[in-house]
Chains A and B, each alone.
Chain A
């Protein structure tokens, strides 16, 4: 079969610059954009405007998934009853735990007051819905349905019911993009819960989860250690679980060892995430950074 259309004809006198010249111009422009965008934030407004315009497309692409989820909701009566029973049991369990939690919190407050410390145990939070997951398999990003209007700011920490999810990297008026802790571009200061050792967990970008490079070869860390977020760097609120160490690798003849941890948060499951206003970041922010919207200081609805 011949791919030449019958109507094919090359214009005899093509107008405007030639194909090669136009390609050269556009390629040069692209290169300039890449250079600029990877080194500064100057193009951030362009990006937010475009992503606002593209929101319907993102929504449409997520539609099949949402429909499938909706179809799943049409459960049988029996399944619903079973689920109801399980939930009731779980609620009872949680209520018992909550009672203890209230007592502990009160005790904690009293002890903290004794120490004259200002740290609070209940951070201010806001629930956001995950509306899209990055479809580039080499970037772990999610899009949330809360933006600058809800007081979301760049660098804000994101957690779910099990641990730290990531942080906000891009804020639009009504939605924002977050980088997950497993993205190779992401690093988070962590503390080994058992020993208090501070280190940094870097995303590995694949199924290995988190990587803790450059540990001293005699560092006290072993499989099963819980990593919690550390307030060093002032970006993440302290004390949220980040991951559990599952492998410690000594390399013979190397000065450092490496550990791997699986993230505590359910990264690719669930539809909701919690935005946390980190007290540290918030305070220092008011002085030197205008990224923060005033709405962040008011208490949002839970």
Chain B
């Protein structure tokens, strides 16, 4: 039972770390290009760990993000739930890809998430027209190989079970 417990602990810890990274104060110029840390980490777990159901945690994390960012409750949870669904559905295709192809193949997922945030902001009358909104898609794509390799290295000892 212990491996599962470490797995869940690692999952929760990585989610908390992602939330923290999402919140840390950055200079104004960099803030617009901040990678989507929470979607990144959730996509990683959805892709790599079939033993954990990522869907409900994605919903809860989304609610926390909504509270932290002052967006309407449900905005981020909707985006994250759909993102996780997409990634889990595509898992069987993704696992055949080498890392760089997976990196490219995940771009539509980030675009979907950014578009949903943009769209709900528009629908709830929060003016949203900046082109800079699409910048995180680029930075998230660049960070995916890094995050993937780091997480794989960190999790290597656990996988021996």
State whether the Cβ of A65 lies closer than 8 Å to any Cβ in chain B: yes
Q: A64, B85: Cβ atoms under 8 Å?
A: no
A13 within 8 A of B: no
Least CB separation from A68: chain B residue: B25
Q: Is A283 an interface residue (CB 8 A)?
A: no
Query: How many chain-B residues does the 8 Å CB contact rule pick out?
Result: 58
Instruction: Compute how far the CA of A136 lies from the CA of B84 in the bound complex, rounded to whole angstroms.
Output: 22
Within 8 A of B (CB), among A23-60: 23, 26-27, 29-34, 36-38, 43, 46-47, 50-51, 54, 57-58, 60
In the bound complex, do residue B82 and residue A4 qualify as a contact, i.e. CB atoms below 8 Å apart? Answer: no
Could you tell me which residues of chain B, from 102 to 135, have a CB within 8 Å of some CB in chain A?
102, 120-121, 124-128, 130, 132-133
The answer on a CB contact under 8 Å between A57 and B77 is: no
Residue-wise, chain A 4-28 has the 8 Å CB interface mask toward B (1 for contact) of 1111111100000001101100110
Is A139 positioned at the interface, with any CB of B under 8 Å from its CB? yes
Closest residue of chain A to B55 (Cβ to Cβ) is A22
Partner of A60, one of B20, B69, B98, B128: B20
- Write out the residue numbers on chain A whose beta carbons fall within 8 Å of the beta carbon of B63: 33, 50
Which residues of chain B from 28 to 62 have a CB within 8 Å of any chain A CB?
28, 31-32, 34, 47-48, 50, 55-56, 58-59, 62
Q: Is A278 an interface residue (CB 8 A)?
A: no
Nearest residue, chain A, Cβ from B89: A19
Quick check: B55 and A19 within 8 Å, CB to CB? yes
Task: Decide yes or no whether A2 CB sits under 8 A from chain B.
Answer: yes
Which residue of chain A has its CB nearest to the CB of B149?
A: A1
The distance from the CB of B23 to the nearest CB of chain A, in whole angstroms, is: 4
How far does the alpha carbon of A253 sit from the alpha carbon of B110 in the complex, in Å?
A: 43
Within 8 A of A (CB), among B75-99: 75, 77-78, 81-82, 84-85, 88-89, 94-99
Interface string of A166-193 (1 = CB under 8 A from B): 0001100000010000001100000000
Residues of A within 8 A of B94 (CB): 3
Q: Is B70 interfacial (CB-CB < 8 Å)?
A: yes
Instruction: Find chain A residues with CB under 8 A from B68 CB.
Output: 51, 54, 57-58
In chain A, what residue has the closest Cβ to B24?
A: A61
- Write the chain B residue with the least CB distance to A64: B24
| A28 → chain B closest CB, angstroms | 9
Interface residues on A, range: 35 or more
Closest-by-CB residue of B relative to A28 is: B78
- A62 on the interface (CB 8 Å rule)? yes
Asked if A205 is at the interface of the complex by the 8 Å CB criterion, the answer is yes
A185 to B89, CA, bound (A): 38
Given contacts A9-B50, A137-B31, contact A33 B74 (CB under 8 A): yes
The interface residues of chain A lying within 8 Å CB-to-CB of B124 are 34, 38
Contacting pair B70 A139 (CB below 8 A): yes
Of B24, B67, B72, the contact of A54 (CB 8 Å cutoff): B67
A10 to B88, CA, bound (A): 12
The answer to whether A34 touches B25 (Cβ under 8 A) is no
Contacts of A62 in B (CB 8 A): 25
Say if the beta carbon of B26 comes within 8 Å of chain A.
Answer: yes
Interface pair B23/A26, CB less than 8 Å apart: no
Give, as a whole number of angstroms, the nearest-CB distance from A179 to chain B. Answer: 8
Q: Is the CB of B74 within 8 A of A31?
A: yes
- Contact flag A65-B47 (CB < 8 Å), given A33-B73, A33-B77: no
Q: Does A99 contact B (CB under 8 A)?
A: no
List the A side residues contacting B20 at CB < 8 Å.
57, 60-61
Question: Do residues B77 and A30 form an inter-chain contact, with CB atoms below 8 A?
Answer: yes
B132 touches A37 (CB 8 A): no
Chain A residue with minimal CB distance to B76?
A: A30
A284 within 8 A of B: no
Q: B136: shortest Cβ distance to chain A, in Å?
A: 10
Instruction: Kindly list chain B residues whose C-beta atoms are within 8 Å of the C-beta of A141.
Output: 70
